Structure 1
């Protein structure tokens, strides 16, 4: 529980800086207080349930779904099917843990909203004594993972769009242009899409991107169901060495923790987010079904020839292949605006705005930050344009922590010491989640970095 000496300093309408003493003890308000954080949120342009669902689908139906056949190549057909469903359930469960823990802390502190880093700090201050020493550094650590992950997604999007445009244009030229030049030519359009500052304004673009995505799925299925081989030709299980690559890709594809928190905080009716038939569960059921279907069918069709994006398996000279490359590239380009919203908001609200409160050029500086964020993703994309390995690395490194371990740590702290359930099952369950997340981070990152080094050494 929150420390009684904790002080909340308002920053704007919904954001609070937290200062505390030694931690521990019970909040004087307690969990049974009538204060409801959701009723006290003051949001300039809140999103509806439908808009939130659209954003969630667009935030998760990115490049990851097209990488699922290659993920199944690293896991095997049956193993991939079962493990994708299990990882999807695990990701959804951990997101529920995170949202619920944040709500409990907001209720105890009587504040309308807390960010992920703020929640982590408050939770650690009220948790076991051995964890309290990490409270002050935890917001920086969470922000680090969030920023790296979201910029990583943006980097993957840049490479994806460039690779698919190159696949189309190369059919009309005798002297193919290097991929790096395509990436550089896309710089200005990506800066423009990342200059949209409001999630409400992004909603129509997300709707368009979803339409383009589902239209592309139809073409993808058309190619997949042509000349399907005997399913017995595909192994049911992969090797232990390649499984972490599957884990990283699938986690990257299914887990959208940064976008999910931003969307829940920006909802008009945040109570509709959780629950059995809430926005989160509806979105995740749709997403998991689509990912399992794409991975299973794509790997069944192409086997060990599965590329980092299944669109690259299609005959490049076919008109439909060119159409799907263009449509999905446009959808991913639009999605860049949503994914880029999160790291810019974190950097601006937490680390930059406080130094510019007296400036008359705040808006100009925010746009400078948005441009710099895009440039960073482009530099990474030009330096290491390895789409599949990028996806696995960012999934394993960032999401094992953000999506699995950190929510479990937060639940332990929020429940400490009297609400851990019979036989302390909450503690046991969350410790297992933490171990699973740490192992996934280490094993997945090691496998991805090894493969990246090997690929770069080959030139």
Structure 2
């Protein structure tokens, strides 16, 4: 008896059914592939971010203001002394607008790169690496080094900020104590704070610093109000005030304003932690509102401070406040205490980069890894201390690290990242405009880095030679 498989009609029918099934399967596969492509094209990083405690728009605004209103604003009168009150007024606004625009293009590039790589968020170093991979062939070859370059600048900047904080604390405490005993040298005050700073940086969990940080913010705001009162009550005047300063000191002004205005290290983390990250950019977004407030405050502080104290304006305007008044002494002491606490937060970033990114992974199998972490924490504090002792000039430190790090991090790198990100996706007039605009920013940023750093180092050598 023959089986049904020997029947030609059955075989033909079976072949037909298999063909139909194959066609159906192919259609389904095509539908799945098309759906996958559509999902890839429509991938929205904002919808895939999982943040344990997302921040509101107002909280993000407050954090951004807090990150920018540090010791830098107190150096603005000295910056206006280098530039003159007219150039200082216009220059601060121009630099502020450039910095704000640079942040906008950095955020836009990060979002685009997140979409392409289907990642919820990227850090600044990771954004640089991903962007270089999308750029021209020359930059693709060094894409793997891009994150390390950005990390190096961030590390130097954070260490520089900590150096500024040590000098600030020591100078303000000395200014108070000098009213009663002026025999103690500035370096001894730095030495007095060395051990407390080391112990402060042994705190690994930022939660323990949070209550102190809140207190430091309140102290800063109250002290800031009193400082403005002193500036206005001491009598601003245009007499013997230069509208335009000497050209050779303009780079010092540039570096100081950049150091004061920029908070580039916290921009992406803040945007990545938002409940509604789309509200960060935009015409009336968190960034523009924050920068408008910051630029206004900086212009006002620099302009009024210079008109009041002129060429005598010091690296921190707190040092110009009359030291023989009790309330002024309290303000200086409280501000120094606030900056002491903030030192721990700034140094935390430097430790995070040095330990978690580089040293820690190398010691993963070392039984004494925990001990080595404390060694690294101690060494970083010692580096900031030794640099502060070597160059105890607040205004020169601020200008140096502003020009050296923030010219690159705040202006040149965002433009370079934007250029690489859209290198292959834009053409014609749109590409040409993007290329010209970003090249101008890159040239401006690196020119500021070279000229500003050289001028600051020259002034340091002149001061201590």
TM class, shorter-length? 0.7 to 0.9
Find 2:186's aligned residue among 173, 179, 190.
179
What secondary structure is seen at the aligned counterpart in 1 of 2:235?
A: coil
Q: Which position in structure 2 is the counterpart of 1:22?
A: none
Moved more, 184-193 or 328-337: 184-193
420-429 vs 151-160, which deviates more?
420-429
* Residue in structure 1 matched with residue 336 of structure 2 by the alignment: 329
Residue 194 of structure 1: aligned partner: 201
Stretches of structure 2 that go unaligned for 5 or more consecutive residues are 1-35
* 154-163 vs 99-108, greater mean Cα deviation: 99-108
**What residue number does 1:437 align with?**
445
Give 1:385 deviation, angstroms: 1.0
272-281 or 28-37, larger mean C-alpha shift: 28-37
2:164 alignment counterpart: 156
Contact 1:155/1:380 (8 A) holds in 2: yes
SS in 2 for 1:225: helix
Cα distance change, pair 31–450 in 1 and its aligned pair in 2 (3 A): farther
Deviation for aligned residue 1:219: 1.6
Name the residue aligned to 2:17.
none
Question: Which residue matches 2:281?
Answer: 274
Compute the displacement of 1:386 (Å). 1.2
Q: 1:157 to 1:367 in 2, by over 3 A?
A: same
Corresponding position of 1:446: 454
Over 3 Å counting, the alpha-carbon distance change for 1:327 and 1:228 in structure 2 is: same
Deviation at 1:209, TM superposition (A): 2.3
TM-score normalized with structure 1 length: 0.87
Q: Which runs of 5+ in 1 are unaligned?
A: 1-27
**Counterpart of 1:7?**
none
Residue in structure 1 matching 2:308, options 301, 305, 309: 301
Aligned-residue offset at 1:314: 1.7
Distance 2:39 2:441 in 1: 25
Structure showing the higher helix proportion among its residues: 2
- 2:357 aligned residue: 350
Q: Judging changes above 3 Å, is the alpha-carbon distance between structure 1 residues 30 and 409 closer, same or farther for their aligned structure 2 residues?
A: farther
Counterpart Cα distance in 1 of 2:464 and 2:273: 42
The higher radius of gyration belongs to 2
Give the equivalent residue in structure 2 for 1:113. 121
Partner of 1:3: none
Q: State the Cα distance separating 1:44 from its structure 2 match.
A: 5.2
2:415 alignment counterpart = 408
Kept in 2: contact 1:62–1:335 (CA 8 A): no
CA gap of 1:367–1:76, structure 2 versus 1, over 3 A, is same
In 1, Cα distance between equivalents of 2:53 and 2:375: 23
* Aligned position for 1:58: 66
Q: Give the number of equivalent residue pairs.
A: 429
TM-score w.r.t. the length of structure 2 is: 0.86
Pick closer, same or farther for the CA change 1:204–1:87 going to 2, 3 Å. Answer: farther
The answer on 1:40 being equivalent to 2:52 is no
Give the RMSD, CA atoms, in angstroms.
Answer: 2.3
Q: Which of 198, 215, 221 is the aligned partner of 1:208?
A: 215
